[in-house]
Amino acid sequence: MNSIWTIARKELSDSFRNRWLVAISLVFATLALGIAWFGAAASGQVGYGSTPATIASLASLGIFLIPLIALLLAYDAIVGEEEGGTLLLLMTYPLSKSQLLLGKFLGHGLTLALATLIGFGVAGIAIAVLVDGVAVGALAVAMGRFIGSTILLGWGFIALAYLVSVRVSEKPIAAGMALAIWFFFVLIFDLVLLGALVASEGKLNPELLPWLLMLNPTDIYRLLNIVAFGDSTQLSGVLSLGSDLPIGTGGLWLGLGLWCAIPLTGALLLFKNRKI
């Protein structure tokens, strides 16, 4: 446990040192406040709209940004150590491969969680203080759910980045594959799903279709932040399938949790079998 924390602590202090933490927090806070005040500008008004609309916009933005940041943060976790020669050295220390990877996960996970908490937390507090007549209780719940799910989504993509990082032997390849993962889940998956739906002309089992959304953590994340308001009109595109999902919010949380646990377990197993 001590060695896990030593590794985590280094990652965390690295992200303080290279200003990652500050930068991400600032980006999150700026975006959140911008969306809160100018999100409704398209409909001709400036100012805070409603909490559900703000959260929905934030979540839509979050699915682009969070995976990207998580992948960037974590893609060189192992392959970077290997290129510098420190992986070989670390493995001669009283430190197992699992401890190294879990330490990295803890460090990167805490970095992302802190940035999310600070960035969106500050924005939430600003909204609560500055906007007259906002229901603070409802806002706190929505923001809490948003921040929680954002952190889980980020952790999932950190774990996905590790899957790449423990397999490849060069940093540029890891970066390329991390981008491919982002492309697949954020841009391609929904398009393919939509295409498959249209092409199948309703021949696919309608019971099965909503479950396909569970195959993409970013879809679960969006559902979680929009469905929770009980307002399905916000659901567009393939997400409208989500209203047919027979699982409640708990199921969605579980799904997001599994998207952290399964890639992380996979990365641990792959790393164990990697030759040093």
Partner 1 sequence: MNCFQLENVSHRYDKTTVLRGIDLRLNPGEILGLFGHNGAGKTTSIKLILGLMKPSEGKVTVLGGEAGDPHVSQHIGYLPENVMFYPQLTGREILSHFARLKGAPLNQVPKLLEQVGLGDAMNARTKTYSKGMRQRLGLAQALLGKPRLLMLDEPTVGLDPVATADLYRLLRDLRDEGTGIVLCSHVLPGVEPYIDRAAILTGGSLKAAGDLPSLRRQANMPVTLTVKPAGNLLELEKVIDQAKQSTGLMMKNDHGTLQVDVRPSDKMALIETLIQSGEVADLGIHQPSLEDIYVHFIGSGGLAHRGGSQ
254 binding partner 1? (CB under 8 A): no
| Closest CB 79 distance from partner 1, rounded Å | 14
Per-residue contact flags (x/-) with partner 1 for residues 49 to 88, judged by CB under 8 A? ----------------------------------xxxx-x
For partner 1, give the closer residue by CB, 20 or 182.
20
For partner 1, give the closer residue by CB, 83 or 261.
83
For partner 1, give the closer residue by CB, 86 or 249.
86
- Write out the DSSP string of the chain: -HHHHHHHHHHHHHHHHTTHHHHHHHHHHHHHHHHHHHTTGGGT--S---HHHHHHHHHHHHHHHHHHHHHHHHTTTTHHHHHHTHHHHHHTSS--HHHHHHHHHHHHHHHHHHHHHHHHHHHHHHHHHHSTT--HHHHHHHHHHHHHHHHHHHHHHHHHHHHHHTT-SSHHHHHHHHHHHHIIIIIIHHHHHHHHHHHHTT-S-TTTHHHHGGG-HHHHHHHHHHHTTT-GGG--GGGGGGGG-SS-HHHHHHHHHHHHHHHHHHHHHHHHT---
For partner 1, give the closer residue by CB, 203 or 275.
275
> Whole-angstrom Cα distance, residue 211 to residue 204?
12
For partner 1, give the closer residue by CB, 10 or 184.
10
| Closest CB 25 distance from partner 1, rounded Å | 20
For partner 1, give the closer residue by CB, 43 or 273.
273
For partner 1, how many residues bind (rule: CB under 8 A)? 23
| Closest CB 189 distance from partner 1, rounded Å | 36
The answer to whether 39 touches 49, Cβ cutoff 8 Å, is: yes
For partner 1, give the closer residue by CB, 95 or 140.
95
Interface positions, 84-123, toward partner 1 (CB under 8 A):
84-86, 88-96
Specify the stretch interacting with partner 1 by CB under 8 A; choose among 2-10, 112-120, 139-147, 154-162. 2-10
Interface positions, 9-38, toward partner 1 (CB under 8 A):
10, 14, 17-18
275 binding partner 1? (CB under 8 A): yes
> Whole-angstrom Cα distance, residue 169 to residue 241?
40
Q: In the complex, which residues of this chain contact partner 1 (CB under 8 A)?
A: 2-3, 6-7, 10, 14, 17-18, 83-86, 88-96, 275-276
